[in-house]
Amino acid sequence: MATQKRLVCRCGEFPTQLFGALRSIATHGVQECPTCSRPRVLELDFDLGLEAGRKPSRVLAAYLPSRRKKWTLKKGPNRGFRVEFFPFLVVLQAGRTSYRWLPYWHVLTKGDTRKTKYGQWAPLLRQHMFDSLLEKARADGY
Ligand SMILES: [Zn+2]
């Protein structure tokens, strides 16, 4: 859903892939540029449907569950591939508004072959909406 991604610091812009960049932030946090010592910020630009508008934003943090689901495909054209599910929680700042984004990928591996499949329907929620969902679920004991 993020239509553009840029990894930037004072030095300029660096090539990046969204999955790898988010996984790196989830694992190591936002990294410092080796040249200018400033954080290399991952900027995302969401072009939302239904007239929700554009949301240029920067990634403050990203998280992955400590344990992730893995399984092996038993049928179909990808039979024998090992699947690993990567559901992210991404903390974004757009102007003064804080957002939570829940993108996910499935990574399929078999031998030296690796396929990274992006989930297309990840919600982008204002922080208060996300908090409200968590509060309601927790209040019910989940
Ligand atoms: Zn730099």
**Distance from Cα 31 to the centre of ligand 1, integer Å:** 10
Q: pLDDT at position 85, please?
A: 92
Distance from residue 14's CA to the centre of ligand 1 (Å) = 9
pLDDT tens-digit series, residues 34-87? 899 999 999 998 877 766 677 788 999 999 988 889 999 999 999 999 999 999
Query: Residue 22's CB: how many other CB atoms inside 10 A?
Result: 25
**Backbone φ and ψ of 128, nearest 5°:** -65, -30
Q: How far apart are CA 84 and CA 139, in angstroms?
A: 31
For ligand 1, the distance from its centroid to the CA atom of residue 110, given in whole angstroms, is 36
List strand residue ranges (DSSP E) for the chain, in order. Answer: 2-9, 12-14, 41-48, 53-63, 70-72, 82-87, 89-94, 97-101, 104-110, 113-118, 124-126
What is the value of pTM for the model shown?
Answer: 0.85
Torsion angle of the four alpha carbons 135, 18, 63, 137, in this order, in degrees rounded to the nearest 10: 20
Which has the closest alpha carbon to 26: 96, 86, 116?
86
The yes-or-no verdict on residue 1 having pLDDT over 60 is no
Q: Which two tokens stand for residue 45?
A: 């630009």
CA of 5 to the centre of ligand 1 (A): 17
Taking only the tens place, the pLDDT of each residue in 8-28 is: 888 888 888 899 999 999 999
